[in-house]
Amino acid sequence: MRTCGATPGGPDLAGVDLANQTVIQGAVLRGGVSDGVPNGAPVGNAYVRLLDSNGEFTAEVPTNSEGQFRFFAAPGSWTVVVLAHGAREEVKVQAQKGTPIDLVIHI
Amino acid sequence: MSRATSLVSTEWVQENLSNKNVVFVEVDEDTTLYEKGHIDGAITFHWREDLQDGLIRDLISKEKFEALLSKNGISNDSTVVLYGGNNNWFATYAFWYFKIYGHQDVRLIDGGRKLWELKGLPLVTEVPSRTASRYVAKERDNSIRAFRDQVIASIGIKNIVDVRSPAEFSGELAAPAHLPQEGGQIKGHIPGAKNIPWSKAANEDGTFRSNEELAELYKAAGVDFAKETIAYCRIGERSAFSWFVLHELLDLQNVTNYDGSWTEYGSLVGVPVAVGA
């Protein structure tokens, strides 16, 4: 499924106090390709883990029905780990206050 | 209590789905998960609406607990099997709750909802209708619960285990990273507390580590098993998870959950606080 025109990545940021929150968010898609256009089927029952710069577990959330997730972190290096039925993906990110990280992760 | 009597596997669940004496109960932080799909026949408790008093900050009364279980057809001789998301945080909190009110046979699904989903096992949306029962709870067993004055008096004497993430322990974050960061509350930890995040007791798939690994984890962090232990976190759910590990899996006595946790301690006037790793 190609979803041209849809906004890639995580949930709508309306109402999020971006000046004071360090947001890492995104969407998990199955079966698509990373070609700059969001495509693939949203994975609504994945688990997304946030590990700190030492690889220590910090938080975990399930994805919503759109395959989306969001963390409120602190500025610095983080690793996002996606677990789903038959899949595991890791993405390293550098977070900062004010500019949300918005990921599209294919499994 | 032991791993054999407190924990069941997903295979055990599949074999007992139609066992009339077993009641599966899902308890989640994200209460919409149950509606999206749950283990066939499972009911759900809402961690706030069902398990918090609502007027004062406390557990629900014995009478309300009896009414909740009776309404859901749980009897005194039922085998209650709990599970949930967030690596069973809120399910272990409910487990502790059932123990507070003296339920005889309560167990937890190892790996919880996450392992069930990662294995691709079936979830249904039908909500079961259960015949009401007449549940009779015991008086609260406060031997597994710690209160603030006991915690303050235990500094430097008992093991105090802070099970939050290192960033919350050090004072960098005020809440877990999947929640908005709260202002106004003091950040840091209880002086002398050992930071042993709840997550270190769990494998990535949500199952508990082996008893040998768990014992080594706490001993290596400086917990003296000959002393009493108090576990705390932010609001008492993650510490219920670690309480379950210490009291149920490792079968240690004198382990309490401080459910007031950091949201209470970090708001108290004049109590000692430490920051940094």
Q: How crowded is residue B51: how many other Cβ atoms within 10 Å of its Cβ?
A: 19
pLDDT reading at A39 higher than 50: yes
Q: What is the pLDDT of residues B3-12, one digit of tens each?
A: 999 999 999 9
Q: Is residue A41 part of a domain?
A: yes
From B131's Cα to the closest Cα of chain A, the distance in A is 31
- Here the CATH number for the domain that contains residue A36 is 2.60.40.10
**Given B7, B74, B214, B233, the catalytic residue:** B233
pLDDT higher than threshold 50 for residue A5: no
Nearest C-alpha in A relative to B202:
A57
A40-77 confidence digits (pLDDT tens): 899 988 999 999 898 988 889 889 989 999 999 889 99
| Site from A43, A49, A58 to mutate, B interface, most B CB atoms within 10 angstroms | A58
Answer yes or no: B139 catalytic: no
Chain A residue with CA closest to B118: the answer is: A85
The backbone torsions φ and ψ at residue B106, rounded to the nearest 5 degrees and listed phi first, read -125, 140
Question: What is the set of domains in chain B, with CATH numbers?
Answer: 3-140 (3.40.250.10), 143-265 (3.40.250.10)
Q: Does B221 touch chain A (CB under 8 A)?
A: no
User: How many Å lie between the alpha carbon of B52 and the closest alpha carbon of chain A?
Assistant: 23
Residue among A58, A76, A49 nearest B118 (CA): A49
Q: Is residue A7 part of a domain?
A: no
**Would the pLDDT of B25 be above 60?**
yes
Which of A17, A61, A78 best tests the B interface by mutation, with the highest count of B CBs <10 A? A61
Q: Is the pLDDT of residue B127 over 90?
A: yes
Asked if A62's CB is within 8 angstroms of B85's CB, the reply is yes
d(CA B158, CA B150): 10
Element (H, E) at A93: strand A87-95
Q: Could you tell me the pLDDT band of residue B151, with boundaries at 50, 70 and 90?
A: very high
Helix (H) or strand (E) holding A47: strand A47-51
pLDDT of B161-220, one tens digit each?
999 988 899 988 888 877 777 655 789 999 999 999 999 999 999 999 999 999 999 999
Residue B197 to residue A57, Cβ atoms within 8 A:
yes
In angstroms, the CA B274 to CA B188 distance is: 6
pLDDT tens-digit series, residues B46-68: 999 999 999 999 999 999 999 99
Round to whole Å and give the CA distance between B272 and B155. Answer: 9
Q: How long a stretch of residues is chain A? A: 107
Query: What confidence tens digit (pLDDT) does each residue in A79-89 have?
Result: 999 999 999 99
Q: Measured between CA atoms, how close is B163 to chain A, in angstroms?
A: 11
Would residue A79 count as lying in a domain?
yes
| pLDDT tier at A2, thresholds 50, 70, 90 | very low
The domain of A72 spans 22-106
Do B39 and B123 touch, CB atoms closer than 8 A? yes
User: Which three-class secondary structure state does DSSP give residue A44?
Assistant: coil
Alpha helices in chain B (DSSP H): 3-6, 10-15, 33-36, 62-71, 85-100, 112-118, 148-154, 166-170, 211-220, 238-243, 261-265
Asked whether residue A11 is assigned to any structural domain, the reply reads no
Does residue A6 sit within a domain? no
Inter-chain contact A61–B178, Cβ cutoff 8 Å? yes
Phi, psi of B178 (to 5 degrees): -95, 5
In a domain, A4, yes or no: no
Domain count for chain A: 1
Query: Residues A77, A22: contact at Cβ < 8 Å?
Result: no
Radius of gyration of chain A (CA): 13
Q: Tell me what the pLDDT averaged over chain A comes to.
A: 86
Is A14 domain-assigned? no
